[in-house]
Structure formats: structure tokens, C-alpha cells
């Protein structure tokens, strides 16, 4: 992705791994939009903490970072008790955030690769496999997101106004993004587009991160309060919606950032197409419906405290579910790296995945 710092533009991935030192480097998302900093994670414990505290966030970015965390664990484990160290590291990384399925998909994929090559008792060989497989997964995600952009771009007409929720951009992935990728490509192809970025309470991924990405890309946009989406939809100002997903069930129900469900219902009510951009790694073929997706509950402080200042009376409590489930009936299509599908067709894609 393009990052403009002062007057220069540089290309960055959200997260990458330096195998020589075993260091993960990533864009520190809690510092954006005002400060652009690269965080360095030296071991899998720091990596787990970065995922939990959302220094890195977004389903594919979480998955790829955890994969690099497994590589760190393999490289840094003691020779004795290697297997136990690795399994504990995997458990720790998996315990960070429950909803995004990429986290589990990536960790299990690397562990299976190690097991299947009979390397679970061979630290050096296991480390080699974990490094190369995690790098491969990162590259696959970047390529998948670019394809999503190409397929999604075909759904965007010149002068379209597009609504998105949360940040499903390059920052939530390795590069390109899921929901934002079609917008990047539409812009690069010379289409005039306008993006409504929901601010996305309580953590403001829309106003802090999506707006930052759109600015870097030169895409015209406006930030709206979450509860303003219906107003703009009813007024005929929104041509289509594109959002991301943390986990999609086999029947096409979609768990995404809290507030996605109400946007989908509003879009349905106002006859506005509602697309979900989903790399295949975010589809959980093991579960049938959205009701089975674990929903993360985060600290009430994210709701009660803004910029370090409590905004609610002392003594009031808050509920803070981080995701909700949009039933498949509200989803017009799911944009993947292998094409755009009706939610009911998703289950047929199982054979395409690694
Ligand atoms: O809590 P977050 O910021 O990790 O939630 C992110 C989202 O809900 C995104 O829409 C989703 O992960 C897709 S990111 C490409």
C-alpha cells in the first residue's frame, strides 16, 4: 500500500518477517492516523500481545502475524521440550482473539505442515518449514486481495458512492485489503468514486484507519457517524456497500465488525447491493451457520472511555461485543479471489482452499 510521509510516498506491507533476526515488523495501528510507526516484535509472546491489544488487527493481518509468531516460536524454542514449547506458543497465539478464523487457519496450517513432514521433533527443520510456510501465506494473502480487488472493481461503476464499515483495507491484511481493494483498483483505473467511511465505534477503525488509507490513495471520501448510514441510504446517496468479514460460515452468514448487520438490513430495506469481500482463508467450512461463530467481547472501557477520558457517569457499565453476524439473506454477493458468489454457493468453494 502507498504510505505518504511528509512529501514522499513509499510502498509498505502491513506486516512482514525478518528471518535472520526472527523479528516481525508491522505498522503500529494504534498509533494511526497521526503517527506512522513500525513496531518490532521479537518473540511470540510479544506477537500474541500485539494481536490482543490490536496493534495489528483485521482478520488476514491477524492470521499472517500469528503465522510469523509460530515461526518465531520454532526458531526460539529450546532444543529440549521443543514440541511442548511449540504447542504452548500455538495455544497462546490462538487465545488472543476468538472471532477471526484466519488466526486458527494459519496456525493449524503451519502446524500440520510440520507434523506431516515428521519434523515435530526436529527444531531446525520445523523452523525452516514454519518460516517458509508463513511467508507463503503472507504472499498468498496479498495476491488474493489483489484478485478480490479485480473482481470487485467490476461491480463498481463510474461515479458510484460506496459505503464501507470498519477497516477492511490493506491494514487489515498484508496488502491491498479486502473491501478497500476494489476501491483502490477502481481509482487506479480512473473511475470517480466516493466512499462513505463509517467511523466504527467504539475503536474508530473507520475514521482512524480507513480514512487514512483512502487519503493515501487519493480516494475521495467522507467519514460518517455510524448512526448516519440510514440517512444517506434513504436519501439515495449510497450506490453499494462493500465490507469485510472475520469469519463466514458455510451457508454464507458473515461475522464482521459490530454494526455491519444493521448496515446490511438498511441496505436491504433500501434496495442497495451489499457485498462482502472475503479471501477464502476467512471462510470457515466447518461451521454451517453464523450462530456458531464465537463473538469476541472486549473491555467495557473501549465504550466508556474516549481518548483517555471517561464519557459516561461513574457507575454506568457498558457492553462491548466486537462483532455481529449478518445473515446470508442480506448479502448480495461474496467477493473472493476466485470470483463473486451468492452466499449459498460458498460451500462449493471448499475444494479450492489449501
Ligand atoms: O476488530 P478488528 O478491527 O480486527 O475487526 C476487523 C474487521 O471487522 C474487518 O472488517 C475484517 O477483519 C476484515 S479485514 C480485511
Cell of 286: 466447518
Total residue count of the chain as it appears in this document: 354
Q: How far is CA 152 from CA 108, 275, 315, 341, in A?
A: 29, 9, 46, 11
CB of 71 closer than 8 Å to CB of 44: no
Q: Is 1 exposed, middle or buried (0-12, 13-18, 19+ CB in 10 A)?
A: buried
**271 CA → ligand 1 middle, Å:** 25
**pLDDT for the residue numbered 354:** 59
- Three-class SS state of 5: strand
Ligand 1 pocket mutation, candidates 27, 50, 56, 59, criterion most atoms within 8 A of CB? 59
Q: Which residues are part of the catalytic machinery?
A: 246
Cell of 196: 462513505
Using a 6 Å cutoff on CB, does residue 246 contact ligand 1?
Answer: yes
CB of 195 closer than 8 Å to CB of 183: yes
**126 CA → ligand 1 middle, Å:** 30
**pLDDT for the residue numbered 89:** 98
Within 128-211, strands assigned E span 161-164, 194-198
- Three-class SS state of 237: coil
User: DSSP of 244-258, one letter per residue?
Assistant: --SEEETT--EEEET
Cell of 323: 462483532
Strand-pair partners of 114 = none
Nearest to 35 by CA among 65, 5, 55, 14: 5
Question: What stretch of H or E contains 241?
Answer: strand 240-243
Q: Which residue's alpha carbon is at the smallest distance from atom 6 of ligand 1? A: 58
Q: Which residue's alpha carbon is at the smallest distance from atom 2 of ligand 1? A: 58
Tell me the backbone φ, ψ of residue 19, rounded to 5 degrees.
Answer: -65, -30
Omega before 202 within 30 of 0, i.e. cis: yes
Ligand 1 pocket mutation, candidates 58, 164, 245, criterion most atoms within 8 A of CB? 58
What residue ranges define each of the domains in the chain, with the CATH number in brackets?
2-145 (1.20.120.420), 148-353 (3.40.50.10470)
Nearest to 62 by CA among 208, 201, 247, 217: 247
**288 CA → ligand 1 middle, Å:** 21
**pLDDT for the residue numbered 66:** 98
Using a 6 Å cutoff on CB, does residue 166 contact ligand 1?
Answer: yes
Per-residue pLDDT of the chain (354 residues; tens, 9 = 90+): 999 988 899 999 999 999 999 999 999 999 999 999 999 999 999 999 999 999 999 999 999 999 999 999 999 999 889 999 999 999 999 999 999 999 999 999 999 999 999 888 889 999 999 999 999 999 999 999 999 999 999 999 999 999 999 999 999 999 999 999 999 999 999 999 999 999 999 999 999 999 999 999 999 999 999 999 999 999 999 999 999 999 999 999 999 999 999 999 999 999 999 999 999 999 999 999 999 999 999 999 999 999 999 999 999 999 999 999 999 999 999 999 999 999 999 999 998 875
**pLDDT for the residue numbered 193:** 98
Nearest to 143 by CA among 181, 111, 172: 181
Using a 6 Å cutoff on CB, does residue 152 contact ligand 1?
Answer: no
User: DSSP of 42-76, one letter per residue?
Assistant: -SHHHHHHHHHTTSS-SHHHHHHHHHHHHHHHHHH
Cell of 156: 463498481
Using a 6 Å cutoff on CB, does residue 257 contact ligand 1?
Answer: yes
Using a 6 Å cutoff on CB, does residue 259 contact ligand 1?
Answer: no
**pLDDT for the residue numbered 119:** 83
Q: What is the dihedral of CA 196, 201, 206, 207, to 10 degrees?
A: 90
Using a 6 Å cutoff on CB, does residue 103 contact ligand 1?
Answer: no
Omega before 33 within 30 of 0, i.e. cis: yes
**87 CA → ligand 1 middle, Å:** 26
Using a 6 Å cutoff on CB, does residue 168 contact ligand 1?
Answer: yes
Amino acid at each position: 500500500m502507498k504510505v505518504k510521509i511528509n512529501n514522499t510516498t513509499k510502498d509498505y506491507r502491513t506486516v512482514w518477517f525478518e528471518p535472520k533476526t526472527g523479528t516481525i515488523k508491522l505498522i503500529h495501528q494504534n498509533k494511526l492516523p497521526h503517527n506512522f510507526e513500525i513496531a518490532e516484535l521479537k518473540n511470540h509472546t510479544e506477537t500474541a500481545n500485539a494481536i490482543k491489544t490490536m496493534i495489528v488487527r483485521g482478520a488476514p493481518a491477524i492470521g499472517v502475524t500469528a503465522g510469523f509468531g509460530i515461526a518465531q516460536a520454532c526458531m526460539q524454542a529450546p532444543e529440549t521440550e521443543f514440541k511442548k514449547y511449540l504447542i504452548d506458543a500455538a495455544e497462546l497465539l490462538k487465545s488472543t482473539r476468538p472471532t477471526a478464523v484466519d488466526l486458527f487457519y494459519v496456525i493449524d496450517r503451519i502446524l500440520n505442515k510440520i507434523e506431516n513432514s515428521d519434523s515435530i521433533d526436529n527444531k531446525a527443520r520445523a523452523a525452516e518449514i514454519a518460516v517458509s510456510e508463513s511467508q507463503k501465506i503472507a504472499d498468498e494473502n496479498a495476491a488474493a486481495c489483489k484478485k478480490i480487488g479485480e473482481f470487485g472493481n467490476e461491480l463498481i461503476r463510474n461515479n458510484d458512492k460506496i459505503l464501507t464499515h470498519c477497516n477492511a483495507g490493506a491494514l487489515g491484511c498484508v496488502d491491498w485489503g479486502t473491501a478497500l481493494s476494489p476501491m483502490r483498483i477502481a481509482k487506479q483505473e480512473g473511475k470517480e468514486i466516493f466512499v462513505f467511511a463509517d467511523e466504527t465505534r467504539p475503536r474508530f477503525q473507520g475514521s482512524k484507519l480507513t480514512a487514512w488509507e483512502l487519503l493515501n490513495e487519493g480516494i475521495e471520501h467522507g467519514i460518517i457517524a455510524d448512526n448516519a448510514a440510514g440517512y444517506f441510504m434513504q436519501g439515495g446517496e449510497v450506490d453499494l456497500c462493500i465490507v469485510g468479514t472475520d469469519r463466514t460460515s458455510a451457508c454464507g452468514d458473515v461475522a464482521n465488525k459490530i454494526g455491519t448487520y444493521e448496515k446490511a438490513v438498511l441496505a436491504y430495506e433500501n434496495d442497495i447491493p451489499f457485498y462482502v469481500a472475503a479471501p477464502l482463508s476467512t471462510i470457515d467450512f466447518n461451521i454451517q451457520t453464523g450462530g456458531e461463530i464465537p463473538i469476541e467481547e472486549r473491555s467495557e472501557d473501549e465504550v466508556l472511555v474516549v481518548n483517555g477520558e471517561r464519557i459516561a457517569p461513574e457507575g454506568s457499565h457498558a457492553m462491548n461485543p466486537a462483532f455481529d453476524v449478518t445473515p446470508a439473506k442480506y448479502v448480495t454477493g461474496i467477493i473472493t479471489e476466485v470470483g463473486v458468489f451468492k452466499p449459498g454457493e460458498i460451500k462449493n468453494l471448499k475444494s479450492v482452499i489449501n
